[in-house]
Structure 1
Amino acid sequence: MTGYRTRFAPSPTGYLHLGHMASASHARAMAGREGTFLIRIEDIDAQRCLPHFEQALREDLDWLGFESALPVRRQSDHLETYRSELARLHAMGLVYRCGCSRAQVQAGMRGRAPDGSVIYGGCCRTACIAADRPHVWRLDMARALATIGQAPGWEEWSPHGTQLVSSRAAEFGDVVLGRRDNGVSYHLCVTVDDARQRITLVTRGADLFEASSVHRVLQTLLGYDAPLYAHHGLICDDTGQKLSKRDGAESLRALRDKGYDAHRIIALARASLSDAPVTPADRYADR
């Protein structure tokens, strides 16, 4: 296993913790000696992504010896690129304006998507929302899948070889591709970034496993190559919950202050990865 082009893509919304280090280590290891390891800063949320957290993130990665083979890509520097790709989808008749408030979305929800997000009820799908009214842009998932002809699955890497995973894209409903504040969203940006950076192996946590169904739809619509995927288990706290900046997970710099050196922190992160399976066996299309 050599020659993969991978990326570690944190958001500067807090200090890095062991879960981030596990992801970074996993991505760099998967790149192999002959591959390429890149670092990307996913900072489109201007309210939560703060300069001092980005500075701390870069300092922590430098101290731990994680270096990007190419200049670090910051999503906030490429907003026009994402908006241009959204415009392509609009020209294809696959996105529409949605003026619903959060309360209205909750009231009209059709259940929960595979990743736990709300499935939008679709009341704006055929409405005419004025451009000057606050709105988000949503993908018309049914029309998108009809355009493609089928819901594309993906190849998931495992130590025993790759396996085809079946898609659940239709179960997500009309996901948001453009937020009110900046006109773009995670699903759109990460798909464009992986294509622009020519990522051949997307390595990330199992909490983003289901989102791959949405990303494969966007890749197909936009004519991007399909990468291989490798989702890893998650480091959890004593209650079984995923480590989270929001929930006060101990930061890497706090461990450093306690006397942990870089080698010990990396080894601890790698050893702490969950052994739980990433996905139920019945998600694999070839079984």
Structure 2
Amino acid sequence: MNPDAINRTSSETQMSQPRLFRFAPSPNGPLHLGHALSALINRKRADETGGRLLLRIEDIDTTRCRPEHEEAIFRDLDWLGIGWETPVRRQSEHFDAYRNALMRLDAMNLVTRSVASRREIREAAARAAAAGNPWPRDPDGAPLFPGDAAILDDAEIRRRLQDEPQALRLDTKAALARLGDAPRWHETGFGYDQEILADPLGWGDVVLARKEIPTSYLLSVVVDDALQDIDEVVRGRDLYHATSIHRLLQELLGLPAPDYRHHRLILDEEGRKLSKSIASTGLASLREAGATPADIREIIGFEN
């Protein structure tokens, strides 16, 4: 694939085509009520605008994603009455596209290598907090990466760089400096209709490719949205802040910026976002217990 093939402007695709939407689950477990809400809102938005709904399988984590979970996604969506276009895009079939995007960022001197693990970063943050030194955290609450030198000694860093796989991270400060100004995005969720100023520095130096996976969610999703000409990204508000990094990567790679609509989440009894590990909220479990698609719509408060 030509690395420049994803350089296109939104005007090239919006003039004569209906708006494109996508529902993009990961096949690493059963869909739950939160997925149902997102899929139904995407379908509704496509219908309201005379648009099209695509299905993307985000399976870059080939160690956790399973074909049986993908088949279950198809069954659940079909049961809910949600149609989608074919062919379905599977991220695991497009690693070359993500490598090309990564190479372009590397050519801009915006990619750094790191060897510290997430566990080591968490442990360093815990030690700092115990000593009365609160560690900076990203919008999701995870401790920010401080640089390998803040956690490991020089000899250990050199050894790991020579002998072990490394994570590839975006030098976020340098990336923002290259642009000059922070990008914005058009947000229509929460009753908004406004331009939101991105804050990518709040995420620190994010991972673009993991040690065991040649990409990351942050990178692959912006490449896919561009390649699929997605006009409006409809997803849960848990990804609202991540849009800052998505917009930064889009600007760096010369990709079009879709509109964003972040919707409410379905929470458990303790106010937490639903997890695929909570079987009681799984669509298949609810179906087997006798629930109907109409029941699901009522439970999640979805109105056609």
Shift in Å, 1:53: 1.1
Match of 2:102 among 86, 89, 94: 86
Taking a change above 3 Å as real, the CA distance of residues 57 and 210 of structure 1, as seen in their structure-2 partners, is same
Residues 98-136 of structure 1, C-alpha deviations (whole Å, 9 max, x = no match): 111234323555521112232110236998774653210
For 1:51, the equivalent position in structure 2 comes to 67
Partner Cα distance (1:124, 1:31) in 2 = 48
Q: Secondary structure at the match of 1:6?
A: strand
- In the TM superposition, what is the alpha-carbon distance from 1:140 to its structure 2 partner? 0.2
- The SS at the match of 2:299 is helix
Among 127, 139, 147, the alignment partner of 1:122 is 147
> Match for 1:85: what amino acid?
A
Q: Is the 8 A contact 1:8 1:24 kept in 2?
A: yes
Please state how far the C-alpha of 1:246 moved relative to its aligned partner: 2.5
- Which of 57-66 and 76-85 deviates more? 57-66
Question: 1:209 and 2:205 equivalent?
Answer: no
Query: 2:218 matched to 1:218?
Result: no
Shift of 1:252: 1.0
Q: Please, what TM-score do these two structures have when normalized by structure 1?
A: 0.87
For 1:276, the equivalent position in structure 2 comes to none
Work out the CA distance in 1 between the residues paired with 2:280 and 2:162. 41
Larger helix percent: 2
Q: Match for 2:260 among 209, 218, 229?
A: 229
Give yes or no for contact 2:279–2:285 (8 Å, CA) kept in 1: no
Report the CA distance between 1:162 and its aligned residue. 1.7
* 1:33-77: CA deviation from partner (whole Å, max 9, x where unpaired): 511111111111122212211111111112222222231111111
The answer to whether the 8 A contact 1:100-1:124 is kept is no
Which amino acid in structure 2 is aligned with residue 165 of structure 1?
I
Aligned counterpart for 1:111 among listed residues 136, 156, 172: 136
CA contact (8 A) 2:27 2:65 kept: yes
Quick one: distance in 2 between partners of 1:239 and 1:60?
26
In structure 2, how many angstroms separate the alpha carbons of the residues matched to 1:224 and 1:44?
21
SS at match of 1:226: coil
Q: Secondary structure at the match of 1:57?
A: helix
1:157-168 matches, within 5 Å, as 157-158=188-189, 162-168=193-199
**CA 241–202 in structure 1, closer or farther in 2 if over 3 Å, else same:** same
Cα distance in structure 1, aligned partners of 2:91 and 2:163: 25
* SS of equivalent residue, structure 1 residue 187: helix
Higher-Rg member (1/2):
2
Equivalent of 1:185 in 216, 221, 231:
216
Decide whether the 8 Å contact of 1:61 with 1:67 is kept in 2.
yes
Distance (whole Å) between structure 2 residues aligned to residue 119 and residue 72 of structure 1: 35
Tell me, what secondary structure is at the counterpart of 1:89?
Answer: helix
Which SS does the other structure have where 1:170 is aligned? helix
Instruction: Report if the CA contact (8 A) 1:153-1:216 is conserved.
Output: yes
The answer to whether the 8 A contact 2:136-2:144 is kept is yes
- Report if the CA contact (8 A) 2:77-2:83 is conserved: yes
Match of 2:175 among 144, 157, 163: 144
Q: Is residue 196 of structure 2 the alignment partner of residue 171 of structure 1?
A: no
Shift of 1:219: 0.3
Per the TM alignment, residue 151 of structure 1 is displaced from its structure 2 partner at its CA by 1.5
Counterpart residue number, 1:12: 27
**Is 2:69 the partner of 1:38?**
no
Pairwise CA RMSD:
2.3
**After the TM superposition, which segments of 4 or more aligned residues of structure 1 sit over 3 Å from their partners?**
107-110, 123-132, 158-161
Task: Answer whether contact 1:136 1:183 (CA < 8 A) is retained.
Answer: no
AA of the residue aligned to 1:209: Y
Change (3 A) 1:264 1:247: closer
What letter is aligned with 1:156?
E
CA contact (8 A) 1:99 1:124 kept: no
TM-score by length of 2: 0.82
SS of 2:87's partner is: coil
Native 8 Å contact 2:189 2:262 kept in 1:
no
Give the corresponding residue for 2:184.
Answer: 153
